[in-house]
Amino acid sequence: MHTAILIPLTFAGAMLLEISRLPAGSLGWLAWCRPEWLCMVTFYWGFQSARGLNPVVLWCFGLFVDVLLGQPLGLNGAILALIAYVVGLNCERLRMYSMPQQVAILLMILLLAETLRSWILNLAGHSGWSFETYVASFITVLLWPVFEALVKKWHLPRSLG
């Protein structure tokens, strides 16, 4: 599939998965196990795309998620732009890393992003800080190899042989 089509499709799918919530009355602990879909897609396209990602577009995606989730405006946009910036600075190096090294880098970036998110939400009075906020980072890292393999399967051009 062409990159110009696949990038918006993956971001749209990630936004839908990001804003989806479990129904009331379901298992409460399961809500902490939702992966950070937008962060994972931003990480993937940040080091796969030759031109990098436009931080303004990412900010708009994050702003849309902020409005839908009722979080402080600009929080998710700033986090996505920060991830794109960090990955963009190191994209050549990330492409050469093995899967375990990519997982370690992704985990560090996600833990930093979750710490920043928790700190800002705590300052805004939305929620207190707890270690449970980091569960989503570890779930995202566990899904990373599967996600990368699926998107690469659609992204890389097929051989004509």
Does residue 150 have a pLDDT over 80? Answer: yes
* pLDDT tens string 103-125: 999 999 999 999 999 999 988 88
Let me know if residue 99 belongs to a domain.
yes
| Domains contained in the chain, number | 1
Instruction: Find the mean pLDDT for residues 124-146.
Output: 86
Residue 140 in any domain: the answer is: yes
Q: Say what the pTM is.
A: 0.87
> What domain range is 68 assigned to?
3-155
| Residue 64 maps to a domain | yes
Which CATH number is 124's domain given? 1.10.1760
Domain assignment present for 116: yes
**Neighbouring C-beta atoms of residue 63, cutoff 10 Å:** 17
Confidence of residue 161 (pLDDT cuts 50, 70, 90): very low
Whether residue 93 lies inside any domain: the answer is yes
Nearby residues of 119 by Cβ (< 8 Å), 6 or more positions away: 129
Is 160 a member of any domain?
no
Determine, yes or no, domain membership for 37.
Answer: yes
Q: How far apart are CA 113 and CA 134, in angstroms?
A: 10
Q: Would you say residue 161 lies in a domain?
A: no
For residue 13, the tally of other CB atoms under 10 A from its CB is: 12
